[in-house]
Amino acid sequence: MSIFDRIFRIGKAEAHAAIDKLEDPAKMAEQILRELRENYQQAITGEAEIKAQALQHRAQEVQAKDKATDWEKKANELLDRVEQKQLDEAKGNDLASKAAQEYQAALNEAAQYGAMAEKEEAALALMDAKLKQIKESITETENRAKLISSRQKTAEVSENINKTLSNVDTDGLMATLNRMDAKATAGEYRAAAYASVADAGLTTEQEINKVLNNTSTSALDAIKAKRSQQS
């Protein structure tokens, strides 16, 4: 592999990676849905135009057939008059021949309109099948677009939470909390130790007075004493 081929492949890979980063799943799904709806609308417009042409050609076919019927009737009337000696034979046959030519031309015209209408109706049948497929694709895309949007939101929220949690030093925080707990416990021990040292330095009289002063009455005793003072 030449150096140019390698550079081209590297550039192509980087371009694809850049495109992948730019592609938003939810937005791309909505774009696909918009395109399908536009295609469906264009197909409906085209179908309506073809249907109008088919109807017009069928109407023209009927008109041409009616014209052929009219010319056939005229040709028969001319031949009847020739047979009934009401019209010169040469002139009558000539006019009947011209009427027959018009009759045939009208039949040919009707056949042409009929053939055109058949082609258009066959095209309409195919278009109906295509329109049904597009409509089904639109329904499927709508459902999938909703799911993709929901999945993307869930993924984004989960990713943000995981990123936040990954940046939290749980072990470090707990270690700090343990140190603070140990410091608080040590402080309590020191306070108790200082109290013990203070008690050890009391004289016998001070120790007795401390014990006597610590004798406390209950809340009920206080209420009873107050009642006896009021009576």
Write down the domain spans for the chain: 3-168, 175-230
Q: Quick one: CA dihedral 83, 85, 87, 92, positive or negative? A: positive
- 215 has a pLDDT exceeding 80: no
pLDDT in tens, 116-131: 999 999 999 989 888 8
What's this model's pTM, rounded to 2 decimal places? 0.52
> Which residue, among 123, 6, 13, 141, has the nearest Cα to 57 in the 3D structure?
123
Asked whether the beta carbons of 36 and 141 are under 8 A apart, the reply is: yes
Q: For 14-23, 162-171, 220-229, which range has the lowest pLDDT when averaged over its residues?
A: 14-23
pLDDT number for residue 13: 52
Question: pLDDT above 70 covers what percent of the chain?
Answer: 76
For 69-100, the DSSP string reads HHHHHHHHHHHHHHHTTSS-HHHHHHHHHHHH
Residue 231's H or E segment, with its range, is none
Residue 216's H or E segment, with its range, is none
Average pLDDT over residues 88-101: 93
- Overall fold of domain 3-168: Helix Hairpins (1.10.287)
pLDDT in tens, 9-56: 555 555 545 445 557 888 888 888 899 899 889 889 989 999 999 999
Most confident residue range from 100-104, 179-183, 199-203: 100-104
CB burial of 86-123 (b: ≥16 within 10 Å; e: otherwise) equals: ebeeeebeebbeebbebbeebbebbeebbebbeebeeb
- 161 has a pLDDT exceeding 90: no
CA distance linking residue 98 with residue 79, whole number of Å: 12
